[in-house]
Amino acid sequence: MRAAGGVAPVSASAFPWEAVMEAGFSRLRLSSEHFWRMTPRELVAALGGPRRGASIDRAAFEALRQAFPDREDTRDGK
């Protein structure tokens, strides 16, 4: 089958619906309604997936503040 203009569509691997549904229904025990209302990001979080960038604790923040203090504002001759 060819797309408009005679170009063959790019072959992409199919989304793993069976695995995702199994995880949602079996592992998380979600109802159909709750499963289909979840965003992909919510599903990944519920499954304990990777998180975006870890935050630092207060001590690490204070160490960075000490190492890299804010400069005085020198605009307008101040």
pLDDT tens-digit profile, the chain (78 residues): 555 666 666 556 788 999 999 999 999 999 999 999 999 889 989 999 877 776 788 999 999 999 998 877 666 655
Mean residue pLDDT across the chain: 83
**pTM strictly above 0.75:** no
Residues in Cβ contact with 1 at an 8 Å cutoff, skipping those fewer than 6 apart: 8, 9
Domain boundaries, the chain: 16-49
Q: What is the pLDDT of residue 22?
A: 95
